[in-house]
A = this chain, B = another copy of it.
């Protein structure tokens, strides 16, 4: 068995370099790897690219990384009006943003992990999302080409891991986490509980351990957010 357990969140994110491209799981306050995010903030890496659904609420979730100027570039579906620090940087022209439709964001991430070199979807045709993208008419329908979206790191949150890295999630805290897990060079998971190998039901495992590189236990932080 490969040793994947880290003692602290700080150790788990210690080698993330400035300039790294990172997936952050989570949606609507559920399933955010908040302890990893805060450790990354302490660690100080900067010039990061964040691939995420949204950009935090106040100082919560990714907010702290924007507040401290760690992130240079964002690929997101819905940064959000409550992402105050992001919005200030964006208004000041200090941050670049690529908006991606939410389901397409999921598929582009999955494609990167699945050995798919791009795909066509009708989503985005005729909209600003298609600007600069190849289009193709399929069966009379306008479609747009999307390339895969990979990252060096995925920061994800799960409920329980076994010591190998098999994961289960809790309810809607699943969201982007299993998708991002498959598409990063190094996937780091923050979990509420680490259980012995063999104690998770093989049929109920959502993320098989092959996708997981580092595991760290940390008490989950829920920021109660408003949309």
Contacts and interface: CB of A to CB of B under 8 A. Distances in A.
Interface of A: 107, 111, 114-123, 136, 138-139, 141, 143, 168-171, 201-204
A203 B159 CA distance: 12
A209 to B, nearest CB: 18
A119 B118 contact: yes
B117 A203 contact: no
Copies in the complex: 2
12 contacts: A111-B119, A115-B123, A116-B119, A117-B121, A117-B122, A117-B143, A118-B119, A118-B120, A169-B203, A170-B203, A171-B203, A201-B204
A143 B125 CA distance: 24
Nearest to A169: B203
Nearest to A136: B117
